[in-house]
Amino acid sequence: MKNKRVLLVSYHFYPDSAIGARRISELAAHLRADGHEVTVVSAGGEPIQTDPALNARVQGMRIHRVAVPPKLTPRLLGLLRRRRNAADSAAAGVAASESNAQTIAASAEGLLARIKRYYHALEWLVDDHKLWSLRAALRIARLALRERFDWVISSGPPMSPHLAVLAARPLLRCRWIMDMRDPWTDDQEWLRHVRCAATDRINAFLERRCIAAADVVTTTTPSLARLLKTRYPERDEAIQCIYNGYDGAPERSPPPLGELRLLYAGSIYYNRDPFPLLRAVAELVARPEVERRKVSFLLVGNCQQWRGSSVSEWIRAHQLEDCIEVRAPVAASEVARLMREANVLVNFAQGQPRQIPAKMFEYIASRRQMLLIAEADSDSAALVRDTGSGWICDPRAPESLPAALQALYRQYVVEAHGYDADPGRVALFARASQNRRFLEILGSAPLAVSETPV
C-alpha cells in the first residue's frame, strides 16, 4: 500500500494517560511505524494524568495542541448560589409565618434546580468540549489549506472531534474514518441528570449528520455496529467493528496454585456494584470445607466507595480484613506485578451492554482466568465466551456468583490446576492485529457516501 498522509483528531492523545488516549495514540504509532505520515490535532494544556514515557510512542509526528477554552460552569454556579442565598434571605424577611417561608424556599429551589438542569443539559450536549471543537475545526481548516491529506480519523468520546471534522470537511477533501469508541446517543442512562428531550434530539441529529458524512464508521463493539447498521441501513457497508486490544506480548508465566487469589484493578463507578461479589466471598470463606487463609480478594484503584457506600467499612463490619483488601491506585508496572501474582482477574461491566472495558483486553493478555460480572447478553460476556477466558456471572442471577467462587476454589485450591489460555485466540486481540484492520481500510477503494435525509 502506498504511504498515506493521515490526520488524526482526538481530544486525548499521548502523553495524556487517560484511557481515551490509548486507542488513537497507539494507532498513530502503528501508522508511523508502517511508514505513513501522521499529523495530530488534540487538546492542549496540562492533562489530568500524564506519563512522560508515552512521548516516545509518538515521536516523529506533527502534533498540534489546541488550547482548551475555560468553562463557564464555575462562574454560573457561583452566581446561582449568590442569587439563591439572596432569595432565601429575602424570603425569610418577608415571610408571615414559618410555613410560608418554607413554601417560598421550596419554590425558589425548584426553579434553581430546573435552571441548573437545563444549563447542564446544554453544557453536556454532545459533551463538555464543544468550544474546543470550534477551535480544533479552525486549526484543521488551516492545515487543510496548506496541505492535502489522504485520510482523516476522528476518535471519540468525547465526541467533539467528530464535530470538528464535520465542520472542516469541505476544506479537507479527503476520506474520513469516524471512530466511535462508545455509543453517542445510546446507553446514556448515567448522564440522565444532564439531559433533556431537546438535547437528545440535537444529539441524534448530529450523530446522523456525522455518520452520513463519514466514509467509514468504526466501533469497538459488535453490538454497537449492529445497532448503527439498523439505524442507518444505507450505511451498512461503511460501519465496521474494530476491537480495542492489548499492548505488548501476552503473559507466559503460569498462574499460582494452592490459593484462590482474586484481583480487581480499576475504579468502582456507575453500575459497577462490588457488593454482591464481596458478599459471595464472605459466603465462600464461611463454608466449613474452605480454608479461609487460602482465599484473598484485592481491589486496587478508586474502589473506596460505590454510590456513597464505603467498601472498607463494609469489610470491617463483616470482619473480612484478612481476606479482602482495598488499596489506592498504583503505577501500571505494579498492576502488572499484581496480575502475575493473581490467578483470577475480576471485571465489572454491569449495565453496559454495548461497551467493553479496555481492561478486558489486558486481562486476556495476562492469560489469567477472568471472573466477569455482567449481563450474559452483553458484548463483554460475548468476548469472554469467544476467548474462553473465564466465568460470566449475570447480576440478574445472584446465585451465579457463589457458585462460580466455589468452582474456582475447587479448581485452584483443592484440585490445584490452573487455566490454559488458547494462544491463537489471545493473539487475535493484540492491538497490532486490530490496527491492521485500520490499515486495510486505508488501502481500500472508496465507498459511496450516502447523505441521510434530515
Q: How many other CB atoms are found less than 10 A from the CB of residue 182?
A: 20
- Grid cell 464543544 is found at 130
What is the three-class DSSP state of 36? coil
What pLDDT does residue 451 have? Answer: 44
pLDDT at position 67 over 70: yes
Tell me the pLDDT tens digit for each residue of 306-365.
999 999 999 999 999 999 999 999 988 899 999 999 999 999 999 999 999 999 999 999
Does residue 239 or residue 46 have the better pLDDT?
A: 239
pLDDT at position 101 over 60: no
Beta strands in 170-212 (DSSP E): 175-180
Does residue 108 or residue 295 have the better pLDDT?
A: 295
pLDDT at position 100 over 60: no
- Grid cell 485500520 is found at 438
What pLDDT does residue 107 have? Answer: 46
pLDDT at position 293 over 60: yes
Q: Write out the three cell numbers for 314.
A: 463494609
Architecture of domain 5-70+128-244+432-442: 3-Layer(aba) Sandwich (3.40)
What pLDDT does residue 280 have? Answer: 98
CB-based contact 51:10 (threshold 8 Å): no
What pLDDT does residue 197 have? Answer: 85
Tell me the pLDDT tens digit for each residue of 395-440.
999 999 999 999 999 999 999 999 988 999 999 999 999 999 999 9
324 CB-near residues (< 8 Å, 6+ apart) = 278, 281, 296, 297, 298, 299, 315
- Grid cell 467462587 is found at 405
What pLDDT does residue 76 have? Answer: 56
Q: How many other CB atoms are found less than 10 A from the CB of residue 448?
A: 9
What amino acid is encoded at 397 in this protein?
A
Question: β-pairing, 260-265 with 309-310?
Answer: unpaired
Does residue 6 or residue 253 have the better pLDDT?
A: 6
Among 84-88, 120-124, 378-382, the minimum mean pLDDT is found in 84-88
Which CATH number among 3.40.50.620, 3.30.70.260, 3.40.50.2000, 2.60.40.1120 corresponds to the domain 260-429? 3.40.50.2000
- With cut-offs at 50, 70 and 90, classify the pLDDT of residue 453: very low
Does residue 101 or residue 307 have the better pLDDT?
A: 307
Tell me the pLDDT tens digit for each residue of 207-228.
999 999 999 999 999 999 999 9
Q: Write out the three cell numbers for 48.
A: 489530568
What pLDDT does residue 363 have? Answer: 94
Omega within 30 of 0 (cis) for the link into 15? yes
What pLDDT does residue 117 have? Answer: 73
pLDDT at position 204 over 50: yes
Give the mean pLDDT of 52-77: 83
Q: What is the DSSP letter of 196?
A: -
Q: What is the mean pLDDT of the chain?
A: 89
- With cut-offs at 50, 70 and 90, classify the pLDDT of residue 104: very low
Q: What is the DSSP letter of 181?
A: S
Give the mean pLDDT of 157-185: 96
Distance CA 58, CA 14 (A): 7
Letter string b/e over residues 87-103, b meaning 16 or more CB atoms within 10 A of that residue's CB: beeebeeeeeeeeebee
DSSP symbols for 336-368: HHHHHH-SEEEEE-TT-TT---THHHHHHHHT-
